[in-house]
Amino acid sequence: MPELPDLEAIKGFLRPRLVGVAIQEVVTGQPVVLRQPSVAEFVALLRGNVFAGVERRGKFLLFPMTSGHVLAINFMLTGRLQYCLPAERRHARTCLELSLEDGHRLRYFDDHLMGKVYLVEQLDSIPHYQDMGPEATDEELTLEVFQKRLRRHFGQIKNILVNDTFVTGIGNAYADEILFAAGINPYRSRSRLSPQEVEKLYQATRRVLAEATETVCQRLGEEIHREIRDFLPVHGKGGQPCPRCGNTISQITAHYRLTNFCRRCQA
């Protein structure tokens, strides 16, 4: 799943290449991912429209158009974008292809067709969009605000971190990394965290996301469909030695979610 660092890198790559560029043609290969409006209206509204910006909100990538509409993509687990020339091989599960006036293609593909693509005039018309909490990296998300929001949620701390109503932009991978940096077991109950641990969690959230965003932005390049995770200390490293203590990193899979952590470093 593309998370805050990934989407920031994709946004940074696409913005100078798309703004002011018109869409000449729209092809919907797998229209099941198109949630609003109807496919016919979606195509008619996008054809001839011009990109006015590239933004991000939580795990959505947003493309404001000069018509006043916004193309909003929630990638979910397997959705990816491809920015390429027409000759580049088309992915088998390409759901949407935009032919741009400069000769490039912007393609959205999704192996499991789980993503959601909207074209709306008001973002609040997207289900649950208005329920998202503040950005995990927002300067106004102070420690005090973080603590106050955290107290509203119950259950395991990893589940809270990936809950967009708490703060938005954190997914499965970076929840693992934040908890590792904070030294907190992902299965700990929120109610059992001490004030000192909550502060560590807050600081780890800011630091991990900032450092990861910088790394992904440096490495992503033009292959915006790639998911760069090899530099992460624990996520996806089940069975390998912990980079901090050498203990074997645990790996647990439940409900399509992979969790990696160190049982020795994370209490």
CATH number at residue 124: 3.20.190.10
* Type of residue at 262: C
Same domain, 90 and 202: no
List the catalytic residue out of 2, 5, 186, 233.
2
Sheet arrangement for strand 70-74: 34-36, 116-120, 70-74, 60-64, 55-57
Within-domain flag for 267: no
Helix (H) or strand (E) holding 35: strand 34-36
**Residue 181 is assigned to a structural domain of this protein:** yes
Neighbours of 193 (CB within 10 A): 17
Are 76 and 126 within one domain?
yes
- CATH code: domain of residue 230: 1.10.8.50
% the chain with pLDDT above 90 = 95
**Residue 66 pLDDT:** 98
- Domain span at residue 252? 143-261
Catalytic residue among 59, 158, 190, 237: 59
Active site residue 207: no
The reply to whether 227 belongs to the active site is no
- Regarding whether 127 and 22 lie in a shared domain, the answer is yes
In a domain, 13, yes or no: yes
- Specify whether 15 is catalytic: no
Q: What is the per-residue pLDDT for 1? A: 87
pTM over 0.85: yes
Give the count of beta carbons closer than 10 Å to the beta carbon of residue 186.
Answer: 20
Say if residue 126 is in the same domain as residue 200. Answer: no
State the average pLDDT over residues 65-87. 96
pLDDT at 256 over 80: no
Counted domains in the chain: 2
Is residue 180 domain-shared with residue 255, that is, in the same domain?
A: yes
Q: Which one-letter amino acid corresponds to residue 212?
A: A
Please tell me which residue in 35, 90, 257, 264 is annotated as part of the active site.
Answer: 257
Q: Looking at the domain assignment, is residue 11 inside a domain?
A: yes
Q: Is residue 3 flagged as an active site residue?
A: yes
Answer yes or no: is 70 within a domain: yes
225-242: per-residue pLDDT in tens? 999 999 999 999 999 999
